[in-house]
């Protein structure tokens, strides 16, 4: 999202046109009303006045697009304030959280991989490990005499 430009937001149809940095392809994702409202509020009230076409810009001249490292620093800062201590902090945390959340809701691995830009479902399958940990917490114990071989 660091490369999201104003023209990538189709307010009328509620679609985000996301350009992937790694391969230059584009994926169209739905823009929920709550996210649209938040982006609009940022553009109107939080974004510095600039000619830059990037949606998310730094707050110091020359108002260029926010970099991944800047976002990572903000994630760490807010996680510390919230007393959240995941094993890894950074922008990848958003991808990981998204994938795990979708897996837990039964979204097919292929669809999650397509959204994340993975070429192979094996790459997306890495996220299954996190979901399995949560599923184990919900699993009911099975007595050995109930196991049918």
For the segment 72-87, the average pLDDT, to the nearest whole number, is 82
- How does residue 43 score in pLDDT terms, banded at 50, 70 and 90? very high
Both tokens of residue 68? 């991944």
For the segment 70-87, the average pLDDT, to the nearest whole number, is 82
Q: What is the pLDDT of residue 133?
A: 59
Q: What is the pLDDT of residue 75?
A: 82
d(CA 48, CA 38): 16
Closest-CA residue to 55 (of 46, 63, 65): 65
Q: Comparing 85 with 22, which gets the higher pLDDT? A: 85
How do residues 86-135 score in pLDDT, each as one tens digit?
A: 777 777 778 888 888 888 888 888 888 888 888 888 888 877 766 555 55
Q: What is the pLDDT of residue 139?
A: 57
For the segment 4-8, the average pLDDT, to the nearest whole number, is 93
- Computed from CA positions of residues 90, 91, 93, 94, in that sequence, does the dihedral angle turn out positive or negative? positive
Q: Which residues are 28's β-sheet partners?
A: 17
For the beta carbon of residue 102, count every other beta carbon within 10 angstroms: 19
């Amino acid at each position: 999202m660091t490369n999201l430009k104003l023209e990538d937001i189709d307010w009328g149809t509620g679609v985000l046109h996301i350009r992937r940095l790694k391969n230059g392809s584009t994926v169209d994702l739905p823009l929920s009303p709550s996210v649209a409202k938040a982006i609009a509020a940022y553009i109107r009230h939080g974004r510095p006045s600039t000619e830059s076409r990037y949606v998310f810009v730094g707050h110091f001249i020359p108002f260029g697009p926010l970099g991944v490292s800047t976002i990572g620093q903000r994630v760490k800062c807010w996680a510390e304030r919230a007393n959240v201590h995941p094993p890894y902090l950074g922008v990848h945390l958003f991808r990981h959280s998204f994938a795990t959340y979708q897996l837990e809701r039964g979204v097919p691995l292929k669809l999650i991989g397509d959204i994340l830009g993975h070429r192979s479902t094996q790459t997306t399958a890495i996220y299954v490990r996190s979901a399995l940990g949560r599923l184990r917490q919900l699993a009911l114990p099975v007595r050995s005499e109930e196991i049918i071989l």
